[in-house]
Chain A
Amino acid sequence: MMKTAVEFDKKNLLASGHRACGGCAQALACRMVLDAAGKNTIACVATGCLEVFSGPYPDPSWRIPFLHSLFENSAAVAAGVEVAYRALKKAPVNVLAMGGDGSTADIGFQCISGMFERGHNVLYVCYDNEAYMNTGVQRSSFTPFGAKTTTTPAGNRFHKKDLPQLAVVHGVPYVATATVDDYHDLQRKVKTALSIHGPKYLHVYAPCPLGWGHAGDMSIAISRLAKETCLFPVYEIKDGKLVSVVKIPVKKPVEEYLKVQGRFRHLFKKGVPTTEVELIQEIANQNIERFNL
């Protein structure tokens, strides 16, 4: 018998009814992550969209313990939870730290680096929507080259920081990237991560309809296009070795990805040199070579 929406929702550890925008891939990704992690999990969440749409007093959407303190310290807070559980000799629990790209790549990077270096048994999940969305779409160091944000009105001139690689050089035993269009891949990666003792880093690509300028029902399609154009390689690195890559047999030109998003629309205006798009294609080409996509 088919389950009703309410019955189905009862199983989700991030309950419905939260305040995320329609089509928010971060909300979707977080639900997938939690459902894969299971009930025996504590989530330490950074300030940002996720915390704001899911954690208002008095009605948070979390069916697992949720701990929020600041924007830039979720990794250190999670480290504290983990050592407390060890010190108090409590039954083992999955400790997750979560944040958006701003709290991960920019303001919270020091705490993440410390957590990695000390080897805490914590899974850090970054929901990457490639800008500061909660404050109104400002550039972060995960904003891709060429993207328009409210603080890069002419398009971002910098390249995306390669945090998965930074995690690898920290000696993090499990580093993976994932997208919301592949539910099974994402959930498998969460489960694999949690089966490994030590720090783990999972980078989830999370389209933001509001910030990227696309319809809410396009999040999954855009997520897939990011993979198919090779702009977001999906892979797994265990103990420093690349162990799996999602192969892209038919590689699409980056225009297909760029043209469906408002944040790249300026690249296709009259008078804008085509070198911009060529540069972005070059990023994809480098990914193809590097990961043998």
Chain B
Amino acid sequence: MLKQIEGSQAVADAVALCRPNVISAYPITPQTHIVEDLATIVAEGRLDTEFLNVESEFAAASVVLGASAAGARTYTATTSQGLLLMTEVLYCIAGMRLPIVLTCANRAISAPLSIWNDHQDSMSIRDSGWIQIHAENNQEAADLHFQAYKIAEKTFLPVMVCMDGFILTHAFEPVDIPDQDKVDDFLPAFRPRATVDPMYPRGLGLFADPRFYMEMRYIIHRAMEKSENTIKEVHEEFNKAFGRKSGGLLKTYKLENADVVIVAMGSVVGTIKDTIDLLEEKGKSVGLLQICSFRPFPRKQVYQLLKDKENIVVVEKALSLGRGGILGSDVRWSFPRTEQTDRKISNFVAGLGGRDITTDDLAAMVERVEKEHVEFDFLGLNRDLILERDL
């Protein structure tokens, strides 16, 4: 049913339709509406689940770890500092192959304190073994949760659904919330692989000495790589069952004959598509490659789609301090070494801490990369605010 609802409500409705057994969370802006809405759903008896308000995000992640190890389908949501506080547990969850689903309402990281959107939070744990999929809009944010549980429970890898804080979580859009029957058909009941059960005593989370550790990490790495196929399959199954395209590894827009290709992820792709249309009216041919699955990074597909493109520009809302762009590095890495050096791949960091990224900004960026290759730069930086002595 099509409903005009807030992004957080759409996610809460979607999560409830996935029938998690245990939900545990700690409030943090801009994730709060998601867990508030879920708490209401549970309080009204629309979902039979154990909803646990805990004392920190660290505890929330630990509770779902324990619950998942006991065989429950689990859910938590957080952002920014909360995600960082969870970090130790998140690595552990991935290492223990627990198929937990987490919504990250992407937000900047302190310091300075900022509650507004960028991708520095989820980027900081990109190497943890969590699948990370990014939503473009609220329909996709909702749909990705149905897919996330299916992907997680097929691969035994945890899945983080990333949606831009405020821009999506607090935006009202028409979203189709499917019927319970349809979701039940798509998402079968969770069948855990190994649980703590006195009937079958086993140890979970044993320590590994140097004879075993590397193999265990290798196996997770391979599982992450192989999960590309699962993400694709689940995406196709979803398209078939629900009649719309949400998620997958990548998406494109007017890519085919584009002279300039913008690579991006998250809600900014909406603005990028508008920019592309505006530039098209002026006779420019610009296309988009949207990354949905950031981890695993679909290197081969990225290469296939970009190998004939002369002018590529990656715009991202994250930054590796002292190094530069992160998505930009991954896109460059997608090209075989020999081609990489000749390739004109520009890289811009934009929108940190909730700075708006406008069509004007993006049009100016395209104009600039038409003239020169920009190894790395910031988009929309107000240099008047920066004193020479601080540099």
Contact digits for A254-267, partner B, Cβ 8 Å, 1 yes 0 no: 00000000000000
Bound complex: CA of A93 vs CA of B96, how far in Å? Answer: 22
Bound complex: CA of A57 vs CA of B204, how far in Å? Answer: 10
> Is B348's CB within 8 Å of the partner chain A?
no
Q: Which of B55, B59, B66 lies in contact with A81, CB distance below 8 A?
A: B66
Contact digits for B353-391, partner A, Cβ 8 Å, 1 yes 0 no: 000000000000000000000000000000000000000
> Is A131's CB within 8 Å of the partner chain B?
no
> Is A169's CB within 8 Å of the partner chain B?
no
Residues from chain A with Cβ under 8 Å of B66 in the complex: 44, 67, 69, 76-82, 84
Residues from chain A with Cβ under 8 Å of B212 in the complex: 57-58
Q: Which of A55, A85, A113 lies in contact with B203, CB distance below 8 A?
A: A55
Bound complex: CA of A76 vs CA of B70, how far in Å? Answer: 13
Bound complex: CA of A84 vs CA of B63, how far in Å? Answer: 9
B69 lies within 8 A of A76 (CB):
no
Residues from chain B with Cβ under 8 Å of A73 in the complex: 58-59, 62, 65, 89
> Is A63's CB within 8 Å of the partner chain B?
yes
A67 lies within 8 A of B63 (CB):
no
Residues from chain A with Cβ under 8 Å of B198 in the complex: 39-42, 64-65, 93
Q: Secondary structure of the A side of the interface? A: mixed
Q: Which residue of A has the minimal Cβ distance to B98?
A: A69
Assign chain A's interface to a size class: 35 or more
B62 lies within 8 A of A84 (CB):
no
Bound complex: CA of A52 vs CA of B24, how far in Å? Answer: 29
Considering residues A39, A57, A78, which has the most beta carbons from chain B within 10 angstroms of its beta carbon? Answer: A57
Min distance, Cβ B339 to any Cβ of chain A, angstroms: 42
Bound complex: CA of A73 vs CA of B205, how far in Å? Answer: 13
Min distance, Cβ A55 to any Cβ of chain B, angstroms: 5
* Given A41-B198, A66-B203, A68-B206: A80 in contact with B67 (beta carbons within 8 A): yes
Bound complex: CA of A118 vs CA of B24, how far in Å? Answer: 12
* Given A56-B209, A87-B50: A81 in contact with B196 (beta carbons within 8 A): yes
Contact digits for B51-66, partner A, Cβ 8 Å, 1 yes 0 no: 0101110110011111
* Given A84-B21, A117-B55: A79 in contact with B63 (beta carbons within 8 A): yes
Q: Which of B52, B65, B204 lies in contact with A66, CB distance below 8 A?
A: B204
Residues from chain B with Cβ under 8 Å of A44 in the complex: 66
* B interface size (C-beta, 8 A): 41
Residues from chain B with Cβ under 8 Å of A117 in the complex: 55
> Is B22's CB within 8 Å of the partner chain A?
yes
Min distance, Cβ A4 to any Cβ of chain B, angstroms: 23
A76 lies within 8 A of B71 (CB):
no
A110 lies within 8 A of B71 (CB):
no
A80 lies within 8 A of B201 (CB):
no
> Is A243's CB within 8 Å of the partner chain B?
no
Min distance, Cβ B188 to any Cβ of chain A, angstroms: 16
Min distance, Cβ B38 to any Cβ of chain A, angstroms: 14
Tell me the residues in window 39-90 of chain B with beta carbons closer than 8 Å to chain A beta carbons: 49-50, 52, 54-56, 58-59, 62-72, 74, 88-89
- List the interface of chain A (C-beta within 8 A of B): 39-42, 44, 51-52, 55-58, 60, 62-70, 72-73, 76-88, 90, 93, 110-111, 113-114, 117-118
Among all A-B residue pairs, the 5 with the closest Cβ atoms: A80-B66, A76-B62, A84-B70, A77-B66, A114-B55
- List the interface of chain B (C-beta within 8 A of A): 21-22, 24, 49-50, 52, 54-56, 58-59, 62-72, 74, 88-89, 92, 96, 196-198, 200-209, 212
Sampled A-B contacts (30; CB under 8 Å) = A41-B198, A52-B207, A55-B206, A55-B207, A56-B208, A58-B206, A64-B198, A64-B201, A65-B203, A66-B204, A67-B196, A67-B204, A68-B203, A69-B205, A70-B89, A76-B62, A77-B69, A80-B63, A80-B74, A81-B67, A83-B72, A84-B21, A84-B68, A86-B50, A88-B70, A88-B72, A90-B71, A110-B59, A111-B55, A113-B55
New A-B pairs, 12, CB < 8 Å, besides A67-B203, A69-B89: A55-B203, A56-B207, A66-B205, A69-B65, A69-B92, A70-B89, A72-B58, A77-B69, A79-B66, A84-B21, A84-B50, A110-B56
